[in-house]
Amino acid sequence: MSILFNEKTRTFHLCNDSVSYIMTVLESGQMAQLYFGKRIHHSEDFSHFLEFAFRPMTSYLFDDDYKYTLEHISQEYGVYGSTDFRDPAAEVTGKDGGRILDFQYQGYAIEKGKPSLPGLPATYTEDDSEAETLTLFLKDPVNGLALKLFYTIFSDGGIIARSAAFVNEGDDTLHLTRAMSLCMDLPDCDYEFVHFSGAWGRERHLKTRRLEQGIQSVGSVRGHSSHNHNPFVILKRTDATEFQGEAIGFSLIYSGNFLAQAEVSTHNETRLLLGIHPHWFDWKLAPDQSFQTPEAVMVYSDKGLNHMSQTFHRLYQMRLARGYWKDKARPILINNWEATYFDFTEERLVNIATKAMACGVELFVLDDGWFGGRRHEKAGLGDWIANPELLPDGITGLAQKIEDIGMKFGLWFEPEMVNKDSDLYRKHPDWILKTPERSASHGRFQYVLDFSRKEVVDCIYEMMAKILGEAKVSYVKWDMNRSITECYSAALPADRQGEVFHRYILGVYDLYERLTSRFPQVLFESCASGGARFDPGLLYYAPQGWTSDDSDAVERLKIQYGTSYCYPVSCMGSHVSVTPNHQVYRNTPLHTRANVAYFGTFGYELDLNKLTEEEQEEVKAQISFMKQYRRLFQFGTFYRLKSPFDGDGTTSWMVVSEDKKEAIVGVYKVLNGANMPFTRISLKGLDPGICYELSSDRRGHYGDELMNAGLITTDSSVGEMAMGNIPTCDFDSRLFILKAIN
């Protein structure tokens, strides 16, 4: 790993064993992008990567020169209006209304390790030898706006982390109306644009489309990263597959409004922009004030999509998630929500927990409905005080009762929201986001607290910290169940209303930071009506997130498969729920519900007292199995083998231990069939020279056999179902366990 600078050619080369990132200072003063891809040998001069040509209807920077036009040069941080007509990385409005920018190179700095980003989540290092960081200093000579571009290259993997910071070093106030975290210009457009989109209950479905001339993008202007699109996209070569070919993943470590955009010029150059969505963004920069963008992470792979994903998994598990729980196996929990909804008493909760404890569950989580007047969705949010009619001894008393049973206790909060029927709203009606003289829209009868205001965050922090400080709470589920509308803060003047969306997210991060710092051993799980804020920004504070409110095992195949392209298994909240499922009313076998949920944090979303004795015994076996293998499930190397998006109704994936001596393969099918063909699947990641005992036949099979000839997955639906065979069914699944034979 190194960052090399040639003083004569003013060229920077960031490189490790996997990747090279090369850029240079143009004669005109701007920064140009020369190469990003597989590691290449260092050279003193890469100027041949710059190509020039006269093109009619093109504008040029210098008099009597047909060479320097920014329209056809790959740039590091392109701006609009001075010969470049593509969408820009930054836009600023000056005192005179002018919007032209010209960031001129001033100098650079190289440091070991990686600096933190004040107030923002970001990847980090624990040792300076893990990474090096380059800072480029640029400045607009007219308005005095200084720009710092940060590049961190990690020692392992094709990882480059990027962000930008603006400082107003001029005499006049400026308005920053666009500030991308990353601008990546690529010399061709032979890519497919891969994104992960959906809606509530079907988040992060894989979508792939060919890049064409023009603009295609995904994003969110909902105040959060959203169910609809994820702040993660991939540019992959059209011939790239899961296990071969080039792909670049782009991930934004941010939880608010975002834009991920690919623009292809009519000369087939591609510009990828990633950052805060410019819609309604307007940051006032008085002299000497600064603005820091969120961090964006790029991962290059020449070994296919699985390799790219595994690089993200390792980075986000170990150098984004923090604290006590980042590398610890997660407790098996039971949540009461789908078991009781609002209809519970303390006695019923204890009964559910007692049965769960007898089955081996380790953590009981009390969900919505325990506080204030919260007996339905129209009241109570904002009053984080236990309802004495439900919990006579408060949260402290209930938590102790759960501890006495032998389990840990967890608690649900929705700290960013308030109901009008609450003491908090009656006392502070101006604390919600609401545009003056206009009605305030509700979502689930709740309103969004103005987390851009410190006094609001302080108030919620005090209520939550009091409960967590007094009661034995080991886990917090942090929910957020509506998008932001009428985004206006009563605490900010008119010319700063464009800051509210971002300041809101900074307030969320501030509350997370305070609580996780004060209660470092509490396991936080993020949730936003399921997966509406399943993003790297929250992974920094909460090492796991509720992947989706849809707990149906069949639907979860697509949700968890799509999520795995960026996010590790250890962060995916996944539970076994009741049937018929409460989201799609599907009846799915209990073993399939578990076989899907194992590939995540694992837990239950039901009342085990209502299961038959036979089902309870099956649950006990599931829990015992998960305890035996949970570290492998959550921290093994994950491979996607067969996609649920291919359309034939089958899915498969697997995890392999770090030493390659254990592996578990999951095979799933949606519908049974008649007289089906023989089937097998090629495994990945095994040691070709190790002989593995296979759980399905108790025989030894070498790794090279299983990866090349394949694992036989034929079931009893082949031919005519024979008497005596275990019949397959709709929504069936199997796990294959592989163990190295000594």
As a whole number of angstroms, the distance between CA 658 and CA 425 comes to: 52
- CB environment 409-426: b (16+ within 10 A), e (fewer): bbbbbbbbbbbbbbebbe
Q: For residue 319, what are the CA distances in angstroms to 112, 313, 536, 583, 666?
A: 16, 10, 11, 35, 28
Query: Reduced to 3 states, what is the DSSP secondary structure of residue 691?
Result: strand
The Cα angle at residue 386 between residues 385 and 388, in degrees rounded to 5: 125
Catalytic residue among 102, 383, 549, 732: 549
Query: Reduced to 3 states, what is the DSSP secondary structure of residue 515?
Result: helix
- Indicate if 552 belongs to the active site: no
| Residue 89 DSSP code | S
- Residue pair 77/164 in contact by the 8 Å Cβ criterion: yes
- CB environment 683-697: b (16+ within 10 A), e (fewer): bbbbbeebebebeee
Name the token pair of 182.
């990353």
Catalytic residue among 479, 550, 552, 715: 479
Measure the N-to-C terminal CA separation of the chain; round to a whole number of Å: 38
The Cα angle at residue 543 between residues 402 and 275, in degrees rounded to 5: 145
- Residue pair 630/664 in contact by the 8 Å Cβ criterion: no
> Is the peptide bond prior to 580 cis by the omega test (within 30 degrees of 0)?
yes
| Residue 287 DSSP code | T
Name the token pair of 316.
């986000």
Task: Name the CA radius of gyration of the chain, rounded.
Answer: 27
As a whole number of angstroms, the distance between CA 404 and CA 85 comes to: 67
The values of phi and psi at residue 436, to 5°, are -55, 140
As a whole number of angstroms, the distance between CA 284 and CA 618 comes to: 60
As a whole number of angstroms, the distance between CA 202 and CA 198 comes to: 6
> Is the peptide bond prior to 56 cis by the omega test (within 30 degrees of 0)?
no
Bridge partners, residue 153, by sequence: 132, 160
- Residue pair 358/366 in contact by the 8 Å Cβ criterion: no
Q: For residue 196, what are the CA distances in angstroms to 89, 110, 228, 559?
A: 23, 35, 8, 10
- Indicate if 704 belongs to the active site: no
Name the token pair of 289.
């004030």
Catalytic residues: 479, 549
